[in-house]
Homo-oligomer: A and B are copies of this chain.
Amino acid sequence: MDMLEKTGSQSSPALLREPVTDEGHGLVELIGARLPEVAAGAADNDRDARFPVDVFTSFGKDGVLGATVPKELGGLGVDRLHDVALGLLNLAKVDASTALALHVQFSRGLTLTYEWRYGTPQAQALAERLLRGMATGDRLVCGAVKDHPSTVTTLTPDGHGDWVLSGRKTLVSMAPVATDFFVYAQWRAEDGPIQLAAPVVSREAPGLDVLDNWDGLGMRASGTLDVVFRDCPVAAGDVLVRGPLDAADDAALAGQTVSSITMLGIYAGIAEAARDIAVRSAGKRAAGASAGVRTLVAEIDARLFALRATAGTALGEADLLSTVLFGDLAERGRRMMRAFQYAKLTVNELGLKIVNDCLTVVGGSSYVNAHPLSRLYRDIRAGWFMQPYTYPDGVDFLSAQALGITQHNDYMKTRAAQAPAPR
């Protein structure tokens, strides 16, 4: 065997080309086997804003839905953010919407695993129940973070030791197949401060309604819906406590990084898919490739390398730090979040440039919805809106970090503390 070829399969982890663990290899292979199925439906699902239910059924059978669940609980035990992001990257090259929805499940697996290992006994029990269900593909657990502008989602004691949940969440991806919702809600003990809590609610709960209202600019097959809660009962044991809104603890930034950083893989996948289409198109006219096209192609490839290297490096940093369990955990949280945010700003900027330049290379034939570049141009823009952080919040966080300005960095609490945002 050619040593180069062998080495090729061991390229720098920062390039997000090969998994760094055996479990990651397993996940990449399982996803790889489903790519033709995903690809087959991608264009139609995009056109119709239809969620690929069958694909998720397949992922359930394959064990993919339990990829980030520990082996002890029946999952695949993929615990490196690098490998999770690589799986999502490969999937996103074929359909970014599907990757975004799958990311919801992966992310939940990672954060629930932390609860299972280090949480209170109650949290451990709840996490174990959910994780075991995710491993078998029986449970798909959405995060429901962002309040609909019309309301504040609120938890109220029911007078018998349990709770009642009311409100409305928006932008809940993977909702069409969700079995459970991990909801962020506010509550207030008498005379106490407003607190943040995370009730887990079954889709079957009375008063819960999943709307069918997604008509996104992009990520149209991601099933990103609103969920309405009308006096839904929640058992005491199904609520995780997050503390007062004004209590800032930067240690929480670690979990928020873990929860979201693997999305960088999705945008790397979109950019690479666009690049491949553009290079294939330009290659057909290779001999006569014009000056403008050759310059664009060189820039596209250089930016894609930089995008991958930056995303891969941030994932590597996060993996390294996520194994640190004692010491200055606030600084650990900030350091993970800094690396994530540096990479997020870079991936957003380079990703859009790459996709845009690819349209220029391909020309007018890409300006119809049936052309895959059209979808990528719409999908890539989603990255800028993902939390944490939006661009303005990212500027605030990173400049505060550099300049030594103290601020409250937990976006879930600061958002909750704000009045509903104007539309």
Residues of chain A at the chain B interface (Cβ within 8 Å): 2-5, 7-8, 10-12, 14-15, 146, 149, 171, 214-218, 279, 281-287, 289-303, 305-306, 308-310, 312-314, 316-317, 320-321, 323-329, 331-332, 335, 338-339, 341-343, 345-346, 352, 356, 359-360, 363-371, 374, 377-378, 381-382, 384-385, 390-399, 401-405, 421-423
Contact = CB atoms under 8 A, between A and B. Distances in A.
A180 to B, nearest CB: 24
A422 B285 CA distance: 8
B4 A302 contact: no
Contacts of A404: 283, 286
A9 to B, nearest CB: 11
A392 B290 contact: yes
Contact of A392 (B293, B325, B382): B293
A395 B4 contact: no
Given A12-B316, A385-B363, A403-B286, A4 B298 contact: no
Contacts of A314: 305, 309
A292 B391 contact: yes
A364 B385 contact: yes
Nearest to A326: B3
A46 to B, nearest CB: 12
A318 B272 CA distance: 22
B15 A317 contact: yes
The 5 A-B pairs of least Cβ separation, nearest first, read A4-B327, A305-B342, A292-B395, A309-B313, A292-B392
A4 B321 contact: yes
A284 B422 contact: yes
A299 B391 CA distance: 11
A15 B302 CA distance: 18
A384 B403 contact: no
Contacts of A401: 301
